[in-house]
Each structure stands twice: as C-alpha cells, then as structure tokens.
C-alpha cells in the first residue's frame, strides 16, 4: 500500500482515533425523501468497513460538513446518500471542489444517470432496449389541458402504463395505471416529487437488479437478483419491509439470459460513464427481451437491499468489497509517481 492508503484502525501505539487523512467518512442522511433509507445504508456500509479494519466515521449532511472535511481531511468519503442531492451529482461536485477522494461516479455522470429520461436516451443510443416513454413537465398539462394530454398519452402508450417522477428513487411517486381513470391521481403522485413526469409503457416480466462493481480491476456484473414483491408491486413498503418481497439470487435465468442481463448492466454502467458501483434495474419479458428501467449511482445497502445480496451470492465479503472500493478511490486520487 502506498503512503496515501487507508490504514486499518487499532494501530500499534493504541491511538483511539486515526490521524488526519486516515479516516473513511460515510455520508448518510441528507434532506432527500430517502433520508431514512440512506441512514440505514450508511450504517450497514460503515459497519462493514469497520469489520474490515478501517477507521470509519458516519456523518449527516449539514452546514458544518465542509469545515469538517477541510479540517479532518478524510482519506475517502463514501456518499451513501440516495435520491436528489445524493445521486444527482451535487455532493460529489462539492467533494471535487475540496479535492476529497470519494467512492462512486463523477458529478456529470450522476446528473445523466439520475435523470431517468436522459439516461434512457443514452442507453437507447447504445442499443439497449428501454420501454417506450413520454416525458412531460407539469406546465404542459396546465397549458394544454390535462384531459386532452392524458388521452393522447393513453392512446400512445396503452394500458397498463407506468407513471414516475423523472428524477426520484425508492419508487416514491411511482404508480401503475391500469385504467384511464387512474391516470390523474398517478400524475399528481409523480408531480409531488418533481416538476417532470415520465410515463412508460408497462413491461410485464421478471424484475432483476444487476449491480456492477469495479474495485480497481475493471467493472464486473454481480449475480442478478430477481425481485418478486408479495403484493405484485415493488413499492416503498415492499422495498424496506423485511419479508414483504421475495429475492432470489442468482436470478432464475438460463445461461444466455444471465449473460444478457450482465451485458446490459455493464453497457449502461459504461455508456453513462459510471464508476465504482452502480445497480441497473431491468425487466426480462416473456420474449426474453431485457428492458432497461434505470440505473442507480448510490444503490441501497440496507438489510433488504439487492446489492448486498448480490455481493453475498458472488461469494464475496461485504466489508472487503466496500474496503476495496475505498482503496480504489484513494488510489486514483493519489499523485502518480
Ligand atoms: N416500465 C415499467 N414496467 C413495469 N414496471 C415498472 C416499470 N417502470 C418501473 N416499474 C416498477 O416500478 C419500480 C420503481 O421504478 P424505478 O426503478 O424506475 O424507480 P425508482 O424510484 O428510481 O426506484 P429505485 O428505488 O430503484 O431508485 C420498479 O422497481 C418496477 O417494479
Ligand atoms: Mg429502480
């Protein structure tokens, strides 16, 4: 390890805290709608990193963060912030400003990936399938008459269709619309989380989450996790209530489809310019087509999240994987000899 590497805690001189520049700072919480999920992800990652011998501090985002970053100069920041400000690139922009190493994709790539319509356009250009969609801001409904616009949407996309905020997470503001009468309420639900809504053709099939991890030796897809929510809808409750969703990993796919979902996740990771870790959310339909829904740049690491399940299924240790991501982030920001 170079002089800039992160050193294990429990140093021989018995010091209780690591010297400046040695600590790993796990950022969790923030003010997004996914604050609670972020705190749970942050806690799990912090404990995993401690388990692999690193000195870790956990911290929320507030007005004293910058001063702390400047004074304590952590060896690396692990941003476990979900939703806006966490995944839209803003916090990473600030970390870049302060020249603090961090795990994860750079700001511009986060901005692209976090905006679902933009990410869909990028992956579609790279040849991936993504459900047909329409993206409309709130004002369009006001200006042109909601009823007219909604009728056109239903006739183009058919039913059922999926309504979601263009920029959000944890399925907040997402609804399946099965009849035209349900559309107005679904639109209100999506607009509660942002000014732009994405309406997508509904894809029937097996939902899989495919993480991509790069610990410095190149991106690789982890085993796909199949997601089968008890209530049929993978909503906020199904995501974070233990036992309410059946996860199977590796997903029950044959060898060809297993390779295909891995290829799709790797392609999305690469064409969007992502780094270190991502998780693509896909649906495999009855015709064996793999549909890209979205990709997450700060995927959940809670007790019910899919990335830790995939890490375990790959025969890897969560602490070691997290530590190797930290080491890779530190190494890339160290001056080259
Ligand atoms: N086009 C679609 N067809 C069928 N189901 C869909 C479609 N789009 C989304 N879903 C369902 O809605 C859920 C939430 O959608 P999506 O993953 O796009 O949103 P999200 O809020 O960003 O979620 P995440 O927590 O993964 O960040 C998906 O996990 C899936 O179950
Ligand atoms: Mg998703």
Q: Is the CB of 168 under 6 A from ligand 1?
A: yes
Supply the residue whose CA is at minimum distance from atom 28 of ligand 1.
234
Q: Is the model more confident about 290 or about 7? A: 290
Query: Residue 72 in 3-state DSSP?
Result: helix
pLDDT at 12 over 50: no
Q: How far is the CA of 279 from the centre of ligand 2 (A)?
A: 8
Ligand 2 mean position, distance from CA 337 (Å): 41
**What does the pLDDT look like over 217-241, one tens digit per residue?**
999 999 999 999 988 888 888 888 8
Ligand 1 pocket residue status of 169, Cβ below 6 Å: yes
| Average pLDDT over every residue of 163-192 | 92
Q: How far apart are CA 323 and CA 45, in angstroms?
A: 10
pTM score, two decimals?
A: 0.92
b/e sequence 223-239, b meaning 16+ C-beta within 10 Å: bbbbbebeeeebbbebb
CB 32 within 8 A of CB 334: no
Nearest CA to ligand 1 atom 27: 169
Nearest CA to ligand 1 atom 22: 169
Q: With pLDDT > 90 as the criterion, what percentage of the chain qualifies?
A: 80
Top-confidence residue, 22 or 246:
246
The pLDDT tens digits for 68-85 are: 999 999 999 999 999 887
Q: 204: CA distance to ligand 1 center in Å? A: 12
> Distance of alpha carbon 51 from its chain centroid, rounded?
23
Which ligand lies nearest to the CA atom of residue 168 in the structure?
1
Torsion over CA: 324, 330, 333, 335 (sign)? negative
Q: Which atom of ligand 1 is nearest to the CA of 171?
A: 21
Which pLDDT score, from 0 to 100, does residue 6 have? 61
- Average pLDDT in the chain: 91
Task: Output the CA–CA distances (angstroms, integers) from residue 300 to 82, 87, 145, 161, 184, in the order listed.
Answer: 7, 11, 38, 26, 30
DSSP β-ladder status, 225-229 and 220-221: unpaired
Instruction: Kindly state the tokens that stand for 205.
Output: 């099939």
User: What pLDDT score was predicted for residue 316?
Assistant: 97
**Whose alpha carbon is nearest atom 30 of ligand 1?**
234
Mean pLDDT for the stretch of residues 262-269:
98
Task: Give dist(CA 206, CA 281) in Å, integer.
Answer: 11
Provide mean pLDDT across the span 84-102.
Answer: 93
Q: Would you state the pLDDT for residue 13? A: 38
Q: What is the DSSP letter of 197?
A: E
Closest ligand 1 atom number to CA of residue 133? 1
Residue 84 near ligand 1, beta carbon < 6 Å: no
| Per-residue pLDDT at 33 | 85
- pLDDT value of position 190: 95
Q: Which atom of ligand 1 is nearest to the CA of 300?
A: 25
Strand order across the beta sheet in which 196-201 lies: 133-137, 196-201, 161-165, 175-177
Structure-model confidence comparison of residues 4 and 186, the more confident one = 186
Supply angle C-alpha 247, 169, 216, rounded to 5: 70
From the CB of 177, is ligand 1 less than 6 Å away? no
Half-sphere exposure for 173 (CA within 13 Å, toward CB): 22
Mean pLDDT across 86-103: 94
Out of 130, 281, 289, 307, give the residue to mutate to test ligand 1, the one with the largest number of ligand atoms within 8 Å of its CB.
Answer: 281
> For residue 10, is pLDDT > 60?
no
Helix (H, G, I), strand (E, B) or coil at 295: strand
């Amino acid at each position: 390890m170079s002089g800039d590497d992160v050193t294990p805690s429990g140093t021989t001189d018995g010091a209780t805290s690591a010297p400046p520049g040695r600590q790993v700072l796990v950022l969790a919480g923030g003010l997004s709608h996914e604050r609670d999920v972020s705190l749970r992800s942050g806690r799990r990652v912090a404990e995993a990193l401690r388990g692999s011998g690193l000195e870790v501090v956990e911290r929320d985002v507030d007005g004293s963060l910058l001063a702390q970053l400047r004074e304590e100069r952590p060896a690396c920041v692990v941003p476990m912030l979900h939703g806006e400000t966490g995944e839209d690139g803003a916090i990473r922009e600030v970390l870049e400003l302060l020249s603090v190493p961090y795990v994860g994709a750079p700001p511009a790539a986060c901005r692209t990936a976090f905006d679902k319509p933009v990410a869909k356009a990028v992956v579609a250009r790279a040849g991936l399938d993504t459900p047909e969609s329409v993206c409309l801001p709130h004002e369009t409904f006001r200006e042109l008459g909601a009823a007219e616009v909604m009728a056109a949407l239903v006739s183009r996309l058919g039913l059922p269709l999926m309504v979601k905020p263009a920029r959000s997470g944890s399925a907040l503001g997402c609804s399946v619309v099965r009849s035209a009468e349900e559309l107005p309420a679904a639109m209100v639900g999506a607009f509660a989380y942002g000014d732009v809504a994405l309406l997508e053709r509904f894809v029937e099939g097996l939902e899989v989450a495919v993480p991509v991890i790069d610990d410095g030796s190149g991106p690789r897809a982890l085993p796909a996790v199949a997601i089968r929510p008890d209530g049929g809808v993978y909503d906020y409750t199904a995501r974070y209530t233990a036992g309410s969703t059946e996860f199977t990993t590796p997903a029950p796919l044959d060898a060809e489809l297993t390779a295909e979902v891995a290829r799709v996740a790797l392609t999305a990771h690469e064409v969007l310019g992502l780094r270190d870790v991502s998780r693509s959310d896909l649906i495999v339909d009855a015709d064996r087509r793999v549909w890209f829904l979205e990709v997450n740049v700060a995927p959940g690491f809670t007790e019910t999240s899919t990335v830790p399940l995939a890490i375990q299924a790959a025969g890897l240790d969560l602490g070691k994987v997290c530590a190797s991501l930290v080491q890779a982030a530190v190494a890339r920001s160290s001056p080259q000899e």
